Amino acid sequence: MKSPTRSVDCVSDLTLDRLLAGELEGQPLSSATEAHLSQCAACHARHQALREALTRFPQEHFVSGLAAQARARSRRFSAPKVTAAVGSLLALAASLLVVVHVSQGPTERVKGSEALSVVVKRLNGKVEPMLSGTKVSPGEAIRFRVVSPRAAWVFVVGMDSAGQVSPYAEGDGTGLPWTAGTDAFLDGSIVLDQTLGPEQLVALFCAKPLPASTVLAAARGALTQSNGHPEKIHALSLDCVQRFFLLNKAAR
């Protein structure tokens, strides 16, 4: 049987990983390993390589996004029970997801610019992707799909003709951490209320976390400047990539 590359006296990756994680502090294995590293060029080089990988990791990966995604998924799996109302919303969300995926095919990761798209579930149950400006009616449900080639903190905000500003996605209050290259639906769906007229949606892709209050203040400022015509809003005074989508809410 052929032995692994390092010699019999060498330390394993497990020992080196434990050393780097500080798990060997105060243990005899720590001093023995340190002594070996000072004498063995191969293990010393391996130790250095693992240490450098630790330094590089936060530069090469969007740690905040990975952590937020893992936390969200771990909570989703461990959620005990949901109410009937939430359950039906989840069912709706799932049905939207399934139909859109079937109709559009797999698009998990795409290259290109930031984008916001919307799918609607009509009152008759039909699910369809929307074009900006498409007519929608009270009681219909919409769901947002976001893509960003860069790591970002994402907000989705609505500004309607009744002068209301609605935050639809804001994460924990500083934006939703978004991993570079991710193309995904946001959790949950929005059932449209009785307010009619245009509602301008904006997805903001910010390079750093922002307080939601700052984002909402910018949206209110833009709505005031538009004199109650949200369809005329084309920019918020924020240093973020901005993508707009117009809902045209009308009675059936």
Partner 1 sequence: MELPEIEALYRRHGPMVLRRARAILGDDAQAKDAMQEVFIRALKTGDGFRHQASPVTWLYQITTHHCLNQCRDRSRRARLLETQSPTDEHQTPNLEDRATLRALLAKVPEELGEIAVYYYVDQMKQDEIAERLGVSRRTVGNRLEAFLLAARAADPALEVSA
The footprint of partner 1 (CB under 8 A) covers 1-2, 4-6, 8, 10, 12-15, 17-18, 21, 23, 50, 53-54, 56-58, 61, 63-64, 66-71, 73-74, 77-78, 172
Rounded to whole angstroms, how far apart are CA atoms 245 and 195? Answer: 17
Task: Kindly state the smallest distance separating residue 15's Cβ from partner 1, in Å.
Answer: 8
Task: Kindly state the smallest distance separating residue 44's Cβ from partner 1, in Å.
Answer: 15
Residue pair 89/189 in contact (Cβ under 8 Å)? The answer is yes
Rounded to whole angstroms, how far apart are CA atoms 210 and 219? Answer: 14
Residue 77 CB contacts under 8 Å (≥ 6 apart), including other chains: none
Integer angstrom CA distances of residue 25 from 15, 18, 37, 38, 104: 12, 9, 16, 17, 54
Task: Kindly state the smallest distance separating residue 9's Cβ from partner 1, in Å.
Answer: 9
Phi then psi dihedrals of residue 8, to 5 deg: -60, -35
Rounded to whole angstroms, how far apart are CA atoms 251 and 135? Answer: 9
3 state SS of 193:
coil
Residue 248 CB contacts under 8 Å (≥ 6 apart), including other chains: 133, 134, 135, 136, 198
- Give the CA count within 13 Å in the CB-facing half-sphere of 107: 18
Residue number with CB closer to partner 1 (52 or 239): 52
Residue number with CB closer to partner 1 (56 or 135): 56
Residue number with CB closer to partner 1 (68 or 223): 68
Task: Kindly state the smallest distance separating residue 206's Cβ from partner 1, in Å.
Answer: 17
Residue number with CB closer to partner 1 (181 or 197): 181
Task: Kindly state the smallest distance separating residue 62's Cβ from partner 1, in Å.
Answer: 10
Residue number with CB closer to partner 1 (55 or 227): 55
CB atoms inside a 10 Å sphere around CB 45: 11
Rounded to whole angstroms, how far apart are CA atoms 90 and 95? Answer: 8
Rounded to whole angstroms, how far apart are CA atoms 40 and 36? Answer: 6
Residue number with CB closer to partner 1 (23 or 34): 23
Task: Kindly state the smallest distance separating residue 21's Cβ from partner 1, in Å.
Answer: 5
Residue number with CB closer to partner 1 (54 or 235): 54
Task: Kindly state the smallest distance separating residue 205's Cβ from partner 1, in Å.
Answer: 20
Rounded to whole angstroms, how far apart are CA atoms 191 and 180? Answer: 29
